[in-house]
Amino acid sequence: MTATDISHRKKFFALGNVYLPHIVVIEKIIEETPGVRTFHFNFKDKKLGKEFSFESGQFGQYSVFGIGEAPFCISSSPTRRDHLEFTAQRVGRVTNALHRLGAGAELGFRGPYGNSFPLDFLKSKNLVFVGGGIGLAPLRSLIWNVIDNRNKYKKIDIIYGARSPADLCFKYDLDAWGKDKTVNMVTTVDKGDDTWKGKVGVVPKILEEVAPSAREAVAIVCGPPIMIRFTFPVLEKLGFTPKQMLTTLEKRMKCGIGKCGRCNIGNIYVCRDGPVFSYAQIKNFVSSEY
Amino acid sequence: MANKKVNKKDIAKLLNQWRQQFTVLAPSKENGVAQMAEWDGKDTSFLDWYRNTVIPPKASFLPPMEEMFRFQKDKEGYHIELPPTNEHKQLIFGIRPCDARAMTILDMTFEEAYQDPYYLSRRKNAVLVGLGCTNPCESCFCTSMGVSPTESTNVDLMLTDIGDQFLIEVVTDKGKELIAKASGLKEATKDDEAKAKETKETSYNKITRKLDTEGIVDKLQASFDDEGFWEQTAAKCISCGICTLLCPTCYCFDINDELVRGEGTRFRSWDSCGFPVYTKMPMENPRLEKWRRVRQKVCHKFEFYPMTFNVIACTGCGRCIRLCPVNWDITQVLESVPVKTGVRK
């Protein structure tokens, strides 16, 4: 491995200085679950907004001015550019501040950063999406991207779960994918309630039940680390090789561009070399550093 | 350009000539802590007491704290403003070869992929005048890290002690310009060159601490999951962060906002992988245990940096040994990495 080549990546340097955020405006806020919100936003400078481009899997650094910055993936699809979206759970200083904001509020945005899902590699393959909780956010950018270019891909399985029915994010997407006859949508919860009619069980267990074939398939996994750790062995059992498993990782980040140092796992910087990795790239670190 | 020489008693004169064009920084004791600080135009007593600074010269390029930009909100929304650019060109006088080498190592990170505008503009505007080390510390091990205590590789001009005078090697075009603008320098003679050579040899041989880094990347890879080894290595560490904050090749930083009466500032400050909060996320922390943080520090320098940039991110300056409050010793740690077969990847 040598220094990372980012020449082929989508980048946006409208302001010259890579640390300067662009001003973006929140247009709409969707309450996904208590504590998880999706923010629709656009560049304040419409011209910059038109110049901006990104790929599924890339992330941004979002500023609540005076509080700080935090990284979130762009959870909308580049095929749907009416606005951009990100989804944040209220857990820390920046996300608590974000959750106090309403439509019309201004944020800072730097990005897009990081690599993206390898569309060329996914082309003409069966795709198995495995998501948990808010981990659906980066997958959903790719899922809509793939659905909007449906003929380029083969079978699509989506296995998505959350702790309870109330914790399911993107219910409107789950409905839409459920109705899409070209998609096999399986929703599960760890613990159901009186009205829950879907599956009950943790994601890795349901994945084992659904048992998608590994033939010409790629699995794309994102969720809490514990789910990721238990999902890879199931996929291996189903015949997926480490190269056929992709995931996108999350770490504490400050700079987003491979300088500030805190997101590395081994010699990999999650912000610079990821956030999208194949299991082959990270399997040696999963047990010890993730 | 042929080498020059300058009388030691004329150093102030020389610095004052450069001072017209540069902010001259020289070794100084601020509150008793040796560091590069703006030279006052007179005092050259550092030539007597100076061995190396406590705060490495990286602080002049990546300051312990620096303003990145300001922000303000009015009726139209947020406005962002860059801090007034510091056009001052810095001349660092007396940088040691180990620390100059460290700057070259830092450049790799700040130039790689995305350019860091703050660091790089300071670097571009600065000149380094090196001063060969003739009185190294017991903790120094530069020669094991491929650095000679008097080498001129990473500076613009290099001074070597030849008795009452310094021999001046002109290394770069920037150095040539500095010499062209200075008066009172003499041509070095063959005799001066011979004296300099002798100083260099003597200095080199004064470095007695040795570290064998042969195969260190493979050794560390193989021992990455050896929890017992890392726990033992980290046992006495108190996570104070000194070995990283004062390391000339450590660059990790934090970014934070400050808002005072509607005037906002985003600033960055030195940070350390030695601190548990460094990697703390709201729901988890991948390096909560001390041994993981110590492993990160050691492996980043001796395994990950070589894997990425093909150089070890250590110059043997010895600060982490000298300044550690509990006598943690990187050379002992590296020499005790178990030799294992079966490499991790």
Residues 111 through 140 of chain B touching chain A, CB cutoff 8 Å: 112-118
Residue in this structure with the two tokens 């930009």, named with its chain if needed: B69
Task: Identify which of A65, A267, A290 has the shortest CB distance to residue B78.
Answer: A65
Would you say residue A290 has pLDDT above 80?
no
Of B253, B345, B238, the C-alpha closest to B299 is B345
Tell me the domain boundaries of chain B: 4-206, 216-335
pLDDT above 90 as % of chain A = 79
Query: By CA distance, what is A44's nearest residue in B?
Result: B77
Q: Locate the DSSP E strands across chain B.
A: 4-7, 23-30, 33-38, 65-74, 77-81, 90-95, 127-131, 157-161, 165-170, 186-187, 253-260, 263-270
Q: Does B343 touch chain A (CB under 8 A)?
A: no
Dist CA B63 CA B118 (whole Å): 10
Beta strands A217-222; A276-278: pairing state: unpaired
pLDDT number for residue B341: 65
pLDDT number for residue A265: 85
- Please state the ipTM of this predicted complex: 0.89
Query: By CA distance, what is B250's nearest residue in A?
Result: A261
Q: Which two tokens stand for residue A274?
A: 């990821």
Residues 197 through 236 of chain B touching chain A, CB cutoff 8 Å: 224-225
- For B331-342, write each residue's pLDDT tens digit: 999 999 998 765
Q: Is B304 within 8 Å of A95 when comparing Cβ atoms?
A: no
Residue-range domains of chain A with CATH: 22-113 (2.40.30.10), 119-248 (3.40.50.80)
Q: Locate the DSSP E strands across B113-221.
A: 127-131, 157-161, 165-170, 186-187
At B281, is the pLDDT very low, low, confident or very high (cuts 50, 70, 90)? Answer: confident
- For B246-264, write each residue's pLDDT tens digit: 999 999 999 999 999 889 9
Q: Which residues of A touch B268 (CB under 8 A)?
A: 260
At A30, is the pLDDT very low, low, confident or very high (cuts 50, 70, 90)? Answer: very high
pLDDT number for residue B343: 52
Would you say residue B88 has pLDDT above 90?
no
Residues 49 through 108 of chain B touching chain A, CB cutoff 8 Å: 68-69, 71, 73, 77-78, 80, 82, 108
Q: Is A255 within 8 Å of B303 when comparing Cβ atoms?
A: no
Dist CA A132 CA A160 (whole Å): 6
pLDDT number for residue B84: 73
- For B44-65, write each residue's pLDDT tens digit: 999 999 999 999 999 999 999 9
Contact call for residues B76 and B44 (beta carbons, < 8 A): no
Residue type, B141: F
> How many other C-beta atoms are found inside a 10 Å radius of the C-beta of residue A47?
9
- What is the residue-wise DSSP string for A227-272? HHHHHHHHHHHTT--GGGEEEE-----SSSSS-S-TTEETTEEHHH
Residue in this structure with the two tokens 């017209």, named with its chain if needed: B20
Q: Is B113 within 8 Å of A272 when comparing Cβ atoms?
A: yes
Contact call for residues B142 and B331 (beta carbons, < 8 A): no
Q: Is A68 within 8 Å of B68 when comparing Cβ atoms?
A: no
Mapped onto helix, strand or coil, the DSSP state of residue B158 is strand
Query: By CA distance, what is A12's nearest residue in B?
Result: B114
- For A259-275, write each residue's pLDDT tens digit: 998 888 888 888 999 89
Q: Which residues of B touch A250 (CB under 8 A)?
A: 281
* Residue A7, CA distances (Å) to A50, A114, B112, B125, B152 in order: 21, 12, 11, 27, 34
Q: Which two tokens stand for residue B54?
A: 């406590």
Cβ contacts of B331 within 8 Å, gap of 6 or more: B141, B144, B209, B210, B211, B321
pLDDT number for residue B113: 85
pLDDT number for residue B319: 97
Of A58, A120, A114, A117, the C-alpha closest to A84 is A58
- For A179-200, write each residue's pLDDT tens digit: 999 999 999 999 999 999 889 9
